Structure 1
């Protein structure tokens, strides 16, 4: 019985290309009590692997957080399976604005302590006492109210390439970092201001809104379904789009364009640019913004040192990175000292 991915990303990419099927990129989450996350994880893998689902799915006692792709022809079968699970029946599915058949190349279903790393002790407050959910129409209205503080609950590298007009964009590396900073910055306005939050698909705001209500904020709101659902409503209903730039996404696409505005700059030359790439040196893999000209000049690397390394024989490259864990540096997302232009 196969319960884990056995193909490499390159092998999977080749199979997707040969299949020639249009795929849908989808995300969803649900907070719910899962008694045995391990067993639930295995059941999901078996069902979804048979449907050619690929993606990154986290399962915990508190629920599920899923980002995935699947052949469009299997969508109804997938939806029927979700509906057969009591707490996932009619769950909101955020379908990507821009589709890419190669958005995910492996199926990874992992059991985690939490479906989002928030650093909170959930037993100290009522996680179900959430903020008011806003659709795109109401959201557009309330963020124009002078008594509203609009807060981006995402990380700095996400808001750097796109955010809502007049939003507070905390300069943080992680979601857990943003929670105490926002509370401190807005502590004088717990009763007299509307605290309106948004994130990519809504999951971070679900927990954050309950946390801030627990901390004494009286008027707490969140954008229903996040930026992805907002733009779909704007597009379908002909509403004014108040988001500028790109929406960062956590798959091979890295972003979806929401407006034509380019609000970021190349981290190497300072030219207007909002294209995130990973350094071509596998021993670095730093995520940063790079324009086409710098990509050509730097061989898609973040620094001269990395450019030198990728020119070495592969065996020598492997030797240099052996035993080194670069994950913390990768997720500094453009804060590297090697980059001249950064937020």
Structure 2
């Protein structure tokens, strides 16, 4: 029984290009009590590998978080499979606005302690006691209310390229950093303010809404389906679009354009730009914003030092990637001291 990938990303990329078949990029999540995440993980891998599904999926005792690429011709088969799992029957699927054959190049199903890392160790906290879900229309009405505080539950590098007008955008690196920060900032308004939250697809808000209810907030709301579903509803129903810029996504596309506005800047030259890239030096792999001009000049690297590295023979580059300390730069997410125009 095959329980792991047998093809490299490059091999898979070549096969996808050769096939040229339409694929759908989508995501979903569900908080549920999974008794044996490892067994469930293997069940998913075997079934989805046969369906040619690719993506990144996390399974834990608290549920599942999935970001996938599915062959369009097998979507109904995929949906039938999900509906056959009791806690995934009719689960909301966030279909991407833009589709790309190469959004994912491998099928990775991993067991984690939690599907959203929160740093919480509180046995009295019930993640299923969530806030009120609102659609795009209700969301637009809510955020016009002067008694509403709108909070972006994403990280700084996500909100930097796009966010809702008037939203509080915490300058944080991780979801766990934002939980205590927001509670402290709004501690005097647990009774009188409406706390409205949004994120990419809803999974972080789901946990955050339950957390803030647990902490005593009385009026807690979340945008159902996140920015992805909001953009779809706005277009379908002809609603006013209150989001500006680009929506950061966690696949090879790194972003979906929601409006033409470019609200960020190239981290190297300061010119308007909202294109996230990873440094071409694999020993660095820093995520940052880079315009086409700087990409050409810097050979897709974040710094002159990294440009020097990529000129080295491949085996020497591999040696530079060895060791945990050398991989830590990836977590800076655009905060490297080598970037002149970082946020």
Tell me which residue corresponds to 2:240: 240
Give 3-state SS (helix, strand or coil) of 2:288's partner. strand
**Which TM-score applies when normalising by structure 1?**
0.99
Deviation at 1:192, TM superposition (A): 0.9
Deviation at 1:324, TM superposition (A): 4.3
**Distance of 1:158 and 1:35 partners within structure 2:** 33
Q: 1:327 to 1:185 in 2, by over 3 A?
A: farther
Q: 1:276 to 1:319 in 2, by over 3 A?
A: same
**Distance of 2:324 and 2:104 partners within structure 1:** 26
**Distance of 2:168 and 2:327 partners within structure 1:** 27
**1:255-275 CA-partner distances (Å, limit 9, x unpaired):** 000001100000000000000
Tell me which residue corresponds to 1:278: 278
Deviation at 1:326, TM superposition (A): 4.0
Tell me which residue corresponds to 1:77: 77
Give 3-state SS (helix, strand or coil) of 1:69's partner. strand
**1:148-179 CA-partner distances (Å, limit 9, x unpaired):** 00000000000000000000000000000000
**Which TM-score applies when normalising by structure 2?**
0.99
**Distance of 1:133 and 1:324 partners within structure 2:** 41
Structure 2 contact 320–326 (Cα < 8 Å) conserved: no
Give 3-state SS (helix, strand or coil) of 2:150's partner. strand
**1:118-154 CA-partner distances (Å, limit 9, x unpaired):** 1123522232221111100000001011110000000
Tell me which residue corresponds to 2:136: 136
Tell me which residue corresponds to 2:20: 20
Structure 2 contact 285–330 (Cα < 8 Å) conserved: yes
- Unaligned runs of at least 5 residues, structure 1: none
Deviation at 1:328, TM superposition (A): 3.0
Structure 2 contact 200–228 (Cα < 8 Å) conserved: yes
Deviation at 1:2, TM superposition (A): 0.6
Q: How many residues align?
A: 343
Give 3-state SS (helix, strand or coil) of 1:119's partner. coil
Pair 1:258-2:263 in alignment:
no
**Distance of 2:30 and 2:211 partners within structure 1:** 17
Deviation at 1:327, TM superposition (A): 4.0
Report which stretch shifted further, 174-183 or 328-337.
328-337
Give 3-state SS (helix, strand or coil) of 1:18's partner. helix
**Distance of 1:30 and 1:229 partners within structure 2:** 16
Tell me which residue corresponds to 1:210: 210
Pair 1:33-2:42 in alignment:
no
Alignment of 1:181-192 (within 5 A): 181-192=181-192
Tell me which residue corresponds to 1:66: 66
Tell me which residue corresponds to 1:164: 164
- Unaligned runs of at least 5 residues, structure 2: none
Deviation at 1:317, TM superposition (A): 1.4
**Distance of 1:79 and 1:9 partners within structure 2:** 25
Alignment of 1:45-124 (within 5 A): 45-124=45-124
Give 3-state SS (helix, strand or coil) of 1:143's partner. helix
**Distance of 2:127 and 2:42 partners within structure 1:** 27
